[in-house]
Every structure is written in C-alpha cells, then in structure tokens.
Amino acid sequence: MKKVSRIWSLAFLLLALTALLFGCGGGSKGSESTGGGDSSDGDGKKKLVVGTDATYAPMEYMDNNGNIVGIDIDIVEAIAEEAGFDVEFKNIGWEPLFPAVENGEVDFAVSSITITEERQETYDFSEPYYIANQVILVKKGSDIKSFQDLKDKKTSLQINTTGHTMLKEIQGKTSSKIIASETMPLAIEELLNGNAEAAVGDNSTVNEYIKNNPNVEVEIVEDDSAEKEYYGLMVKKGNSEVVNLLNDGIKKIKENGKLKEITGFDVE
Ligand code: ARG
C-alpha cells in the first residue's frame, strides 16, 4: 500500500511540475495582457499581434503578393528578434487601429504613428524609433509656399493624423476647406483630381510618392515651421509588459546599428 501511494504522489508531483513548466512557456496570461495575440506558437516564444494601416508606403504597405511590408515592418521584426518574441501583422486600417489597440484586438500598433501629448492621454508609447515632419504636396507652379499659405486653401490629408491636427490649427477646427480622407493615397487623389489645392502628410510617405511617380506634375513644399515628429509603437494604456518588451528591443537595435541600417538615419 505504502508503495502505491508513493507512486501516486510521485505522479502527482510530475504532473504539477509539467503544468508549471507549460504555464510559464506560454507567456504570462495575467490580467494585464491585452489578449490580442498573447499566445506562443511552436518555438515557445510569445506571439504578439501587431495592427497597422498598410497604405503608407514605404513605411507600411501591401506588396504585389498581398504581404504587409515596409520600413516599419522591418523595424518591428528587428525589435521582435532582439527582444525574443514573434509577430503577426494585421492590416486594420487607420481609424479602426486606435480602438483595436484599446480593446485588445491587437497587442500594439505600428503605423508611422507620431507620439503626441493628446494620444498619450489614451495610449502608451514605446521610445521613439523614427523622425518625420509634415510636408505639403502641390501641383507644379502652385503659389503655395508655406503652411500659412494653406489658411484659405482646400487641403486634403488623412483623417485624424497629425497633418489633420495641424490644418485645424491653421484653418480653424470647423473649416470646410479641410478634406479628410480615409487614407493618404486618397488624399493625394483629391489633389490630383483638382478637389484640393494641396495635400499634407508625413515626408516619409510624400517623398516616396514623388519618387514613384516622376511623371506626375507635382512637387513638395518644405516649410521649416513644421515640427519634428517622433514615431512610436502604440500600446494599450497600462500595458507596461508590452511597452517594456518593445523598449528593450528598440534599445538593442539602436545600439547594434540595425535601426540605422533600416532607416538610414539616427534617432536620438
Ligand atoms: N504620423 C502621422 C500621425 O501619426 C500619420 C501616420 C499615418 N500612418 C498610416 N499608416 N496611415 O498622425
């Protein structure tokens, strides 16, 4: 009898140990986790689901095979490699991206998102990993030379972006001359078809448009009054677990030169 009960307690101990081991391997499932993709796949690494608006070449866009690619994607993959987690990208779109982070549908968002004080009230951000600024796209020969020149001009931009905020400051919140499009390509379309006299967006993407469309009669207006903007990865407020993981990866790719290799410049 004694022997039997010892076997049983040994079996029980083994079972408890296995449970403990597996429990740890799957990544923490505490109440803090957003749940989006907080699971591990075959390699035992934690997998995070990353939301994006893949309409913003060269930062995040769809290639011809339907894959989500771009500079931001490469950066997140490098961060994940250094910090030891796996990623799965989801093309969510710009406006739905914000609630998706809030409700845990995704663990974080990468989308050329500028860290702003206003957004920091609702979301947490990683350390900055990229610098950009707003520029103006106009048809060649336009008399628009600065942001102030946009005061009474029909101007298109992507809705709820920092460019949108800037135009509201210049024209007034309720201006009817602001054309807020769902995506940046659609905002540029408004300029090309004559609905708008200017389009405003991040230099990262507007430069790429010019590069890819040398035959379109448009040019960029740079205005030094445009403030530097810092891109960050956006996380649900209070999810310090993911923020720390991302910052750990960002620190490492800043230190080992990988970030500069991807973007071509240093971010202080
Ligand atoms: N940097 C700007 C902002 O944060 C625009 C970002 C737009 N990104 C995108 N993938 N559509 O408001």
Q: Where are the domains of the chain?
A: 39-131+230-263, 134-221
Ligand 1 atom with least separation from CA of 165: 12
Atom of ligand 1 nearest to the CA of 132: 1
Query: pLDDT (tens digit, 9 = 90+) per residue, 223-267?
Result: 999 999 999 999 999 999 999 999 999 999 999 999 999 999 888
CA-based R_g, the chain, Å: 23
pLDDT at 268 over 80: no
Is residue 33 predicted with pLDDT exceeding 60? no
User: Reduced to 3 states, what is the DSSP secondary structure of residue 116?
Assistant: coil
Quick one: 134-221 is in which CATH superfamily?
Answer: Periplasmic binding protein-like II (3.40.190.10)
Q: Compute the mean pLDDT over every residue in the chain, rounded to the nearest whole number.
A: 89
What single letter denotes the amino acid at residue 197? E
Quick one: tokens of 228? 């530097």
Phi-psi domain of 262 (left: phi exceeds 0; alpha: psi -120 through 50; beta: other): alpha
Say if residues 177 and 112 touch (Cβ distance below 8 Å).
no
CB-defined site of ligand 1, < 6 Å: 53, 55-56, 60, 94, 111-114, 158, 161-162, 184, 202, 229
Atom of ligand 1 nearest to the CA of 162: 12
Say yes or no to pLDDT of 129 above 70: yes
Q: Does residue 5 register a pLDDT over 60?
A: no
pLDDT of residue 267: 86
Cα 74 to ligand 1 centre (Å) = 17
Whether pLDDT at 36 is above 50 = yes
pLDDT of residue 193 exceeding 70: yes
Tokens representing residue 137 in the block: 């796209």
Q: What angle do CA 207, 211, 212 make, to 5 degrees?
A: 120
- Select the more confidently predicted residue: 5 or 51: 51
Nearest CA to ligand 1 atom 12: 161
Whether 7 has a pLDDT exceeding 70, the answer reads no
State yes or no: pLDDT of 27 exceeds 60: no
pTM of the model: 0.85
H or E element at residue 264 = none
Alpha carbon 102 to chain centroid, angstroms: 14
Helix (H/G/I), strand (E/B), else coil: 14: helix
Whole-number pLDDT of residue 65: 97
Percent of the chain with pLDDT over 90: 82
Distance 249 CA to ligand 1 centre (A): 22
pLDDT exceeds 70 at position 40: no
Comparing C-alpha atoms, which of 256, 251, 257 is closest to residue 127? 251
Selection from 91, 39, 219, 70 nearest residue 145 by Cα: 219
Cα 252 to averaged position of ligand 1 atoms, centre (Å) = 25
pLDDT at 214: 96
Residue whose C-alpha is closest to residue 73's, from 64, 65, 62, 83: 62
- Tokens at 13, concatenated: 């101990």
| CA of residue 60 to ligand 1 center, whole Å | 10
Q: What pLDDT score was predicted for residue 8? A: 54
Whether the Cβ atoms of residue 50 and residue 108 lie closer than 8 Å to each other? yes
The answer to whether 242 and 164 have CB atoms below 8 angstroms apart is no
Instruction: Kindly give the distance from the C-alpha atom of residue 7 to the centroid of ligand 1, in angstroms, as a whole number.
Output: 62
With respect to CATH, is domain 39-131+230-263 assigned 3.40.190.10? yes
Round to whole Å and give the CA distance between 156 and 145: 16
Structure tokens at 46: 């934690």
Q: Give the Å distance between the CA of 24 and the centre of ligand 1.
A: 36
CB 128 within 8 A of CB 232: yes
φ, ψ of residue 62 in degrees (nearest 5): -95, 135
Q: 211 or 15: which carries more pLDDT confidence?
A: 211
Biggest alpha carbon distance in the chain?
97
Nearest atom in ligand 1 to 72's CA: 10
Matching fold, domains 39-131+230-263 and 134-221:
yes
- Which strand (E) or helix (H) includes residue 230? strand 229-231
Cβ neighbours around 66 below 10 Å, total: 8
Give yes or no for residue 152 having a pLDDT over 50. Answer: yes
